[in-house]
Amino acid sequence: MSSNKVYKPKPVSGFPEYLPEVRLVEQQWLDHIRRVFESYGFCSVETPSVEELDVLSAKGEVDKEIYVLERLHKEEGGKDARLALHFDQTVPLARYVAQHFNDLTFPFKRYQMQRVWRGERPQAGRFREFTQCDIDVINVDSLPLHFDAEMPAIIWETLSSLPGMENEKIQLRISNRKILIGLLEGKTNNIPEALRIIDKIEKIGKDEVTKLLSKDCAIDDENIKIIMNLVGHDGYYILQDLTASNEMMAQGMEEIKFVKEQLSNLPEEAVKVDLSIVRGLDYYTGTVYETVFTDDPGYGSICSGGRYDDLAGQYINKALPGVGISIGFSRLFAKLLEQGKLPIARKSPADVLMLLPADDQHDKATEAAQTLRKNGHNVEMYHKAQKLQKQLSYAEKKGIPYVWFPGDGEVKDMATGEQVKADPQSWTPHE
């Protein structure tokens, strides 16, 4: 402390942290999301920050940059670390369901709001540590398609009512993987690559996609035409007179039509069928979701998910289909913060600052504060009998809306300056 050599702290890139006034709004958001999720009957689950590496990599290649845990004082010749931070909440859920299979009641509906970690290079809206808010439904053997339709409805309700989101234009884009995969069947021997290219259509444009499909996937011009017709227009419109080229494609078409029709009570622009959407995660098998700011789709998806017919199958010998969606909380929040659209106000949750005009009023102040707290108000005590000038400006700076004078029992409204006699037992703020 007294040393003149200070270590100058700097933020760790990709690991956001906020000031109290921002955090206050963040908590408001999390509470809001939690309430909506619970209103649909989802129950809360929290899993450890770490999973065994084998669990995380059970599905597909580990192309995600996973943070592996390594102990600082690892003993020489010690075994390699087997634990890693989870990079999403879906894989841990699958493990969770498999592990507690006997004790869960199906359909199992859970929400999970935790941090996840990805070792990617940070950018605007992309972090290395961030919060996701997931809802998923998992059932045994089969899961009604109604759940696929319920997901976007819940998300729409949640996002459009978040404080500060009222005027944001967002759009849920939905698709069904079976359509594109069915269509590509037999047209290329590199379907994954073709999907990756098509998924980028918004970013790189139709011409570039056309070029790449021909060059990298060896798809002939006629088939490219068919594909581009499918993904280059409003999907729901295209579906009306599209002929399926195989069973898988037909199934996908039927499913997406059903989902879209179930969502007809939402505003016109809220949900759009976009057949170019595939999503990178390889465990999705049917419906997929993506959500963007209509005026800034390049910012990336702020809420994605989909159906997976067999995720837990890696951990248990049962058929456990599920569908889920995840709010990219940090990405969404960061965008509104950056644009100054969050309702940032107070720096403290205190409603009242209990002043201390003189030391001999301390007991009285404590008593009044306790009474106020019992009645549901948040009260901070000023513990040093400094000039009132200081105490008031402290309240002002922290954005505490009321100050209390314990001596003669008066309360002052900092916004209006009005000061009146009040009883801590019965006092309530003006609105």
Partner RNA sequence: GCGACCGUAGCUCAGCUGGUAGAGCACUCGGUUGUGAUCCGAGUUGUCGCGGGUUCAAGCCCCGUCGGUCGCCCCA
CB of 222 to RNA, least distance (A): 26
The interface region with RNA, picked from 98-106, 196-204, 217-225, 244-252 by CB under 7 A, is 196-204
Q: Is 430 in the site for RNA (CB under 7 A)?
A: no
Q: Which is nearer to RNA, 90 or 259 (CB)?
A: 90
Q: Give the x-and-dash track for 75-94 against RNA (CB under 7 A).
A: -------------x------
- Measure the CA–CA gap between 304 and 295, rounded to whole angstroms: 18
Q: Which is nearer to RNA, 307 or 331 (CB)?
A: 331
Closest among 135, 61, 64 to 289, alpha carbons compared = 135
Q: Please pick, from the candidates 45, 58, 412, 424, the single residue that binds RNA as defined by CB under 7 A.
A: 412
CB of 412 to RNA, least distance (A): 5
What are 296's two structure tokens?
């800034």
Touching RNA, residues 347-386 (CB under 7 A): 357
Q: Please pick, from the candidates 118, 173, 260, 377, the single residue that binds RNA as defined by CB under 7 A.
A: 118
Q: Please pick, from the candidates 297, 347, 392, 398, the single residue that binds RNA as defined by CB under 7 A.
A: 392
The interface region with RNA, picked from 106-114, 119-127, 242-250, 257-265 by CB under 7 A, is 119-127
Q: Which is nearer to RNA, 35 or 121 (CB)?
A: 121
Q: Is 147 in the site for RNA (CB under 7 A)?
A: no
CB of 242 to RNA, least distance (A): 26
The owner of tokens 């400094």 is: 386
Q: Give the x-and-dash track for 294-333 against RNA (CB under 7 A).
A: ------xxxxx---------------------x-x-xxx-
Q: Which is nearer to RNA, 153 or 281 (CB)?
A: 281
Q: Please pick, from the candidates 59, 64, 178, 335, the single residue that binds RNA as defined by CB under 7 A.
A: 64
Q: Which is nearer to RNA, 275 or 395 (CB)?
A: 395
The interface region with RNA, picked from 163-171, 180-188, 197-205, 316-324 by CB under 7 A, is 197-205
Q: Is 158 in the site for RNA (CB under 7 A)?
A: no
Which residues contact RNA (rule: CB under 7 A)?
Answer: 5, 8, 10, 12-14, 63-64, 88, 118, 120-128, 130, 132, 196, 199-200, 203, 279-281, 290-291, 300-304, 326, 328, 330-332, 357, 387-390, 392-393, 395-397, 405, 407-408, 410, 412, 414-417, 419
